[in-house]
């Protein structure tokens, strides 16, 4: 089945220790998104790739970086995690043809805990 896969599902890291979360998709969608969701809050968009074009949200800290080496994979790098970065990180994909937003398909998320 076509799907969005995130690894790992759970990650514990120490304060300041870099961590990388991965997302892969078999949907062949051209847009990939990274969201941060804290407990009982809405998903907050960090950035997205439209094909190879990276689009950062204005309020996303520099501590968060992303890479998309090919259509199928996208990585979220947190260079120096702080305690406030403890959250669920959701990857999503969509097939967008320009302008209007289309359905987003979410992965199961990676629950990150920073100690």
Partner 1 sequence: GQQVMQIPQYQHVQEGEDFTTYCNSSTTLSNIQWYKQRPGGHPVFLIQLVKSGEVKKQKRLTFQFGEAKKNSSLHITATQTTDVGTYFCAGGGNNRLAFGKGNQVVVIP
- Can residue 52 be called a binding residue for partner 1 (CB under 8 A)? no
Cα dihedral 84→89→93→98 (10° resolution):
0
Using the rule CB under 8 A, which residue among 26, 28, 80, 103 binds partner 1? Answer: 103
Using the rule CB under 8 A, which residue among 24, 46, 48, 74 binds partner 1? Answer: 48
- Can residue 36 be called a binding residue for partner 1 (CB under 8 A)? no
Q: End-to-end distance of the chain based on CA atoms, in angstroms?
A: 36
> Of the ranges 10-18, 38-46, 60-68, 79-87, which one interacts with partner 1 (CB under 8 A)?
38-46
Exposed, middle or buried: residue 68 (CB in 10 Å: 0-12, 13-18, 19+)?
A: middle
Count residues binding partner 1 (CB under 8 A): 27
Point out which residues pair with 5 in neighbouring strands: 24
- Can residue 72 be called a binding residue for partner 1 (CB under 8 A)? no
Point out which residues pair with 95 in neighbouring strands: none
- Can residue 96 be called a binding residue for partner 1 (CB under 8 A)? yes
Q: How far apart are the C-alpha atoms of 15 and 94, rounded to whole Å?
A: 33
Using the rule CB under 8 A, which residue among 21, 74, 90, 114 binds partner 1? Answer: 90
- Can residue 23 be called a binding residue for partner 1 (CB under 8 A)? no
């Amino acid at each position: 089945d076509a799907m969005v896969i995130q690894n790992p599902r759970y990650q514990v890291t120490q304060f300041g220790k870099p961590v990388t979360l991965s997302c892969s998709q078999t949907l062949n969608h051209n847009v990939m998104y990274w969201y941060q969701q804290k407990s009982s809050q809405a998903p907050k968009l960090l950035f997205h790739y439209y094909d190879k074009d990276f689009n950062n949200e204005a309020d996303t800290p520099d501590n968060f970086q992303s890479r998309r080496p090919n259509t199928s994979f996208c990585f979220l790098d947190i260079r120096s995690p702080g305690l406030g970065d403890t959250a669920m990180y959701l990857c999503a994909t969509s097939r967008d043809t320009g302008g209007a937003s289309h359905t987003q398909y979410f992965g199961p998320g990676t629950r990150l805990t920073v100690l």
